[in-house]
Copies of this chain bind each other. A is one copy, B any other.
Amino acid sequence: MVLEEQTPEIKDPQNNDAEAQHHEVQTDVHMDRDFVQTLQYALRKDDETKILELLEEVHAADVADILEVLSSGQRTKLIALIGANFPAEVLAEIEGEAQDDLYEQLPNEQIAEAVTEMETDDAVYVLEELDEEDRAEVLEQLPTDDRVAIEESLSYPEDSAGRLMQRDLFAIPEFWTVGQTIDYLRSDSEDIPDDFYDVFIVDPTHKPIGSLPLSRILRTARETTIADIMRRDIFKIEAVADQEEVAYQFSKYHLISASVVDDAGRLVGVITVDDVVDVIGEEAEEDILALGGVRDESGLNESFIEITRGRFTWLFVNLLTAILASAVIGMFEATIEQMVALAVLMPIVASMGGNAGTQTMTVSVRAIATKELSSSNALRVLVREFTAAGVNGTVLAVVSGLVAWFWFDSLMLGGVFAAAMIFNMVVAGLCGLLIPMGLYKMEIDPAISSSVFVTTITDVVGFFAFLGMAALFLL
Contacts and interface: CB of A to CB of B under 8 A. Distances in A.
Q: Is the interface of A mostly helix, strand, loop or mixed?
A: helix
How many copies of this chain does the complex contain?
2
Given A12-B240, A277-B277, A304-B388, A5 B375 contact: no
A107 interface: no
Interface residues of A, number: 158
A204 interface: no
A288 B287 contact: yes
A280 B284 contact: yes
Interface in A116-162: 160-161
Q: Which of A194, A288, A341 has the most CB of B within 10 A?
A: A288
A80 interface: no
Q: Which of A25, A307, A346, A399 has the most CB of B within 10 A?
A: A307
B294 A359 contact: yes
Contact of A251 (B195, B196, B281): B281
Contact of A59 (B2, B213, B253, B399): B253
A352 B322 contact: yes
A420 interface: no
A249 interface: yes
Contacts of A391: 308
A353 to B, nearest CB: 10
Contacts of A246: 10
Interface string A360-404: 011110110011111111001100110110011001100110010
A236 B9 contact: yes
Contacts of A88: none
